[in-house]
């Protein structure tokens, strides 16, 4: 059974940093691209970032480019999102998602999310 | 930037009825790269349809997708009580999502 468990969320002041983690199990982690998708309170879904299986291909939404860094550790079956210079607009539930296949930003399994609140 | 506009915003139907949800793109998109997700309150989204018309693993055949160019449709042939949720379309070529359609019980 595929499981994705996010952690690392919390309350942080604007301008500060936070690092999210996603622990994956139930599939061969290093065979798949991985992604972060967020959902602001009461709002829709927004793709944040993606990383290919070998970390060669990395992409970010314009809204986070230059502030967020995605990475993965295939030996630990883990995905990360380093979030710097956080803004109030970054407040959201952050989901880790597994890619269905290839480098497509198509998400077949999602974690339950970790909440990030940016507020002074 | 591709804008995906879903309609209606809210759809009120009864169990057993047919639901038709629309997703319109602001420009023609490669139809193979359209997906639909279902999200229930307090839950993560669930992939229903990808490549515009292919059902994801374990998705019942009452869910079907169609469309091309700028207009895409998710159809639920006979609504079950568990189908009432929010549905999002997604163009995974550009990574943009629609704003969602809430399917509620009438």
Q: How do residues B50-97 score in pLDDT, each as one tens digit?
A: 999 999 999 999 999 999 999 999 999 999 999 999 999 999 988 999
Name which of B92, B95, B99 is nearest A44 (Cβ-Cβ). B99
Rounded to whole angstroms, how far apart are CA atoms A94 and A52?
19
Distance separating the N- and C-terminal Cα atoms of chain A: 40
- What torsion do the CA atoms of A24, A25, A29, A34 make, to the nearest 10 degrees? -30
What does the pLDDT read at residue B31?
Answer: 63
What is the rounded average pLDDT of the residues A83-89? Answer: 98
Mean pLDDT of A88-95: 98
Interface test with A, best of B3, B10, B44, B59 (most A CBs within 10 A): B44
Q: Judge: B97–A47 Cβ closer than 8 Å, yes or no.
A: yes
Q: Is B89 helix (H, G, I), strand (E, B) or coil?
A: strand
pLDDT band at B30 (very low <50, low <70, confident <90, very high): confident
Place of tokens 């002074």: A120
């Amino acid at each position: 059974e595929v499981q994705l468990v996010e952690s690392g969320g919390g309350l942080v002041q604007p301008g500060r940093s936070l690092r999210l983690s996603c622990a994956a199990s139930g599939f061969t982690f290093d065979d798949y691209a991985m992604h972060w998708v967020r959902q602001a309170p009461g709002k829709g879904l927004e793709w944040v970032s993606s990383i290919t299986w070998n970390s060669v291909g990395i992409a970010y939404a314009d809204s986070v480019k230059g502030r967020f860094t995605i990475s993965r550790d295939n030996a630990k079956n883990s995905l990360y999102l380093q979030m710097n210079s956080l803004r109030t607009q970054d407040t959201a539930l952050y989901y880790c998602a597994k890619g269905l296949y290839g480098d497509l930003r198509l998400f077949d399994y999602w974690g339950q999310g970790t909440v990030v609140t940016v507020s002074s | 930037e591709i804008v995906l506009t879903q309609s209606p915003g809210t759809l009120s139907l009864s169990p057993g009825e047919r639901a038709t949800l629309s997703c319109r793109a602001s420009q023609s998109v490669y139809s193979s790269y359209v997906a639909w997700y279902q999200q229930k309150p307090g839950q993560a989204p669930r992939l229903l349809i990808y490549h515009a018309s292919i059902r994801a693993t374990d998705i019942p055949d009452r869910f079907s997708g169609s469309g091309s160019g700028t207009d895409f449709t998710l159809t639920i042939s006979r609504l079950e009580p568990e189908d009432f949720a929010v549905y999002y379309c997604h163009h995974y070529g550009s990574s943009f999502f629609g704003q969602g359609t809430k399917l509620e019980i009438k």
